[in-house]
Amino acid sequence: MRIPMARLLLVGVLTGCAQSSWAGLQFQTEHYRVGIEIIAEGLSHPWSIAFLPEDEQLVTERDGRLRLIQQGRLHPDPVAGVPQVAAVGQGGLLDVVLHPEFEQNRWVYLSYSDQTNEGLTTRVMRARFQDHALQDAELLFEALPRTSGGRHFGGRMVFDPAGFLYLSVGDRGEMEKAQQGLDHAGSIIRLHDDGRIPEDNPFTGDSSVLDEIYTLGNRNPQGMALHPQTGEVWSNEHGPRGGDEINRIQAGLNYGWPKVTQGVNYSGTRITEHSDLPGMEPPLLDWTPSIAPSGMLFYTGDEFPGWRGQILNGALRDRLISRVSITGQADAYQLQEEERMLQGFAQRIRDIRQSPEGEIWLLTDQNPGQVVRLRRIDN
């Protein structure tokens, strides 16, 4: 089925792929005309954004800086107290999320890549955000064992309604790790907010799987979001050449990588004969060819009411937003890609978030990169 593409409506002059080409532009989707507003620019590969009270936002730069936007203006000085990160390959300062009770405790959580003589890994820390600084820092988790590769750090985080913290850890470019239960790579991790391991994690007490692991067989999840009705964690995941996925994350399941995939090696050779196997959880949606999905959200706002309950995925390789509808429920969900938006701007979209006001915010994976807001333009 042909996926409809959003149409660009020029306001002013479009100057190729230059950063200034975003400013003053509109585009037409299946339902809405949408305007593009640049909130902040000049950032180095912005990776994630979190919405604070009083119209403020925290933005991570992959090079290792945490930035604050106040009332639409980028603070000139980075936030102090950020840990040293290893900005190696795809690594660096990655996700930023707020504790569910942030207004009371001021806890901010960061995921990032770290390097020692033993290699690289994905870490999670938390600290209190006060006086434009991170204070009382605590290291909560690091994926082990370390490895030398600079790929597939994962790093996406989300809190569920019960207050558990979920973290994606990629396979680190070594696909077999995703099926090795004594290696955190290629999994979804579940923790208490202070880093303790929940007693009801699915593999607690199983000597063949690390207690922090919630799911196995995940190649490199780059987006995670909560289903607005069930509160369940869903993720999108990079395949190799083909085989990008959307998955419903369920305790103890194995999502198959690399024993099961729709994709092939970048060289074109086969990874496996199998697109499904007993005991391996199939994806709810598969993108082949790949779009390289990034951040994702379930839209619940009022700005774009026709998209409520649908998933919006950013994309790196195809530089677009993929809008996906959901029908059915529980074990009978059916997903359908309905529309591809923003093709033609030629900028990698690293993250996509919904603001408390129901607007859609994007981060462009560029240097210099931008924070962009999308707003409906009424006829």
List the catalytic residues. Answer: 152
Cβ-based neighbour number of residue 225 at 10 Å = 23
Is residue 305 a contact partner of residue 357, using CB atoms and an 8 Å limit?
no
**Closest Cα partner for 96 from 368, 245, 295?**
295
Residue 290: is it exposed, middle or buried by C-beta count within 10 angstroms (0-12/13-18/19+)?
A: buried
**Helices vs. strands in the chain: H and E counts, helices first:** 1, 26
Residue 66: is it exposed, middle or buried by C-beta count within 10 angstroms (0-12/13-18/19+)?
A: buried
- Give the pair of three-digit tokens for residue 42: 């000049």
**Closest Cα partner for 164 from 197, 209, 137?**
197
Residue with tokens 């210099």: 368
**CA-to-CA distance for 180 and 32, rounded, in angstroms?**
46
224: enclosing H helix or E strand = strand 221-226
The CA distances from residue 335 to 143, 242, 324, 327, in Å, are 32, 17, 6, 7
**Closest Cα partner for 155 from 141, 138, 145, 175?**
141
Cβ-based neighbour number of residue 131 at 10 Å = 9
- Give the pair of three-digit tokens for residue 150: 């600079």
Is residue 48 a contact partner of residue 351, using CB atoms and an 8 Å limit?
yes
Give first-to-last CA distance, the chain, whole Å: 30
- Give the pair of three-digit tokens for residue 219: 């190649």
C-alpha angle 123-41-31 in degrees, rounded to nearest 5: 95
**CA-to-CA distance for 179 and 186, rounded, in angstroms?**
7
